[in-house]
Structure 1
Amino acid sequence: MKKSSSIILAFVLLLVIAAVYRIIPGRPGGFAPQYSMAVFGGAIFLKDKKWAFLLPIGSLFISDVIYQILFKANLTTMPGFYSGQLVNYAIFASVTFFGFLLKKQNVLNIAVVSILAATYYFVVSNFAVWAMTDYYPHTYIGLTACYEAAIPFYKYSLYASLVFSALLFGGYALLEKYKLKSEQVTI
């Protein structure tokens, strides 16, 4: 797929804006654009899938680097790099597959896939926290406690998935419509 300079610029801007948004203090936990970016990337970059995966992972990595710098400067208590990070990246990358399911992009399909993606991330990532750490006992009660503790994050991730998917897919549809109109005018 040949990339125009405007597409590359938009891609880089989206990466940076999402990364910076993720580190904003006071933002509700889980309310971030990365879920939607994964779905959007999967739906839009079907012919060149590396871009689909790079969109959410790139923004996560950039924000994690910023978090690490702030952590080292004692400006935050949250480190950018932590054990289990590669597992988290793999789970986020797998969310991109939900975008591949969007054969017909309409409001209902985008909303359903966005909700499924956030739910998938909630289930898999919290199972990984329970299985790979000592935060919770490795019992059924420990697993349910892990999921219960993550419900506030899940709620905000659902909201974020719907809001940011509307912005990304809606913005893309408007750009495509504008591009089509401008091409019709120049003919």
Structure 2
Amino acid sequence: MKLSKNFVFTLIALVVVAALYRVVPGRPFGFAPQIAMAIFAGAVIKDRKTAFALPLISMFISDAFYQILYVSGLSIIPGFYEGQATNYILFTLLTVIGFLIKKINVVNVAIASIAASTIYFLASNFMVWLSGTGGYQHPQTFNGLMMTIADGVPFYKNSIWGTLFFSAVLFGGYYFFFSRSPKAEEA
């Protein structure tokens, strides 16, 4: 199905705004739109390539901004780092959660948001523990894994709230601007 110009413009704006928001100084870490964007793309956009690309392009743009700020001495957070490919793979998997939403409604979007945030939290912390990257060189034991997960809890809380908030914005905005019944503007 062909995308309308308004919908394409909206997707481009969404990618840029989400990328810029992610590098806003002082925002709570983990409170970002990318997980919600992955769910939204999977649920709304029929073209799988476009659905997978949407959150990944946004992540890449914000990572590039972070790298520029880091190299310029304006941020302590590097944009490109060891283990980054794992992060991109995880976001690809989060888009699949959106594919699983058969009926878009508040309950299903909330469940998908919490599930995606939880999967991302557990998988990303497991990978940090396994690789010993990110300054978290905890022992390769069960206790070390639990320490790594405990280190990530503040990010997890923000991730859940951020994903719920941005899912409400994305799905609510889509419903308001493009239809009165979700799935009307499918890619």
On whether the aligned pair clears a TM of 0.5, the verdict is: yes
Tell me which amino acid in the other structure corresponds to 1:27: R
Equivalents in 2 of 1:88, 1:178: separation in Å?
34
Say yes or no: does 1:25 pair with 2:25: yes
Structure 1 stretches of 4+ with a deviation exceeding 6 A read: none
Aligned twin of 1:155 = 157
The one-letter amino acid paired with 1:31 is F
Secondary structure, in 3 states, of the residue corresponding to 1:11?
helix
Q: Could you tell me the TM-score, scaled by structure 1's length?
A: 0.92
2: CA distance, partners of 1:54 / 1:136: 34
Deviation at 1:64, TM superposition (A): 0.4
1:41-60 deviations in Å (ceiling 9; x for gaps): 00001x20111111111110
Tell me how far apart the structure 2 counterparts of residues 54 and 6 of structure 1 sit (CA, whole Å).
18
Residues 130-149 of structure 1 mapped to structure 2, 5 A cutoff? 130-133=129-132, 135-149=137-151
Query: What is the count of residue pairs matched by the alignment?
Result: 178
- Identify, as 1 or 2, the structure richer in helix: 1
Cα offset, 1:140, TM superposition: 0.7
Aligned residue identity for 2:6: S
Q: For residue 69 of structure 2, what is the aligned residue in structure 1?
A: 70
Which of structures 1 and 2 has the bigger CA Rg? Answer: 1
Structure 1 residue 5, shift from structure 2 partner: 2.1
Q: Which runs of 5+ in 2 are unaligned?
A: 182-187
CA RMSD of aligned residues (A): 1.3
Q: Does 1:171 align with 2:178?
A: no
Give the direction of change, closer, same or farther, for the CA distance of 1:71–1:126 in structure 2 (3 Å limit). Answer: same
Unaligned runs of 5+ in 1: 180-187
TM-score, normalization by structure 2: 0.92
Name the % identity. Answer: 49
Which deviations, in whole Å up to 9, do the C-alpha atoms of 1:26-50 show, x marking residues without a partner?
Answer: 11110000010000000001x2011
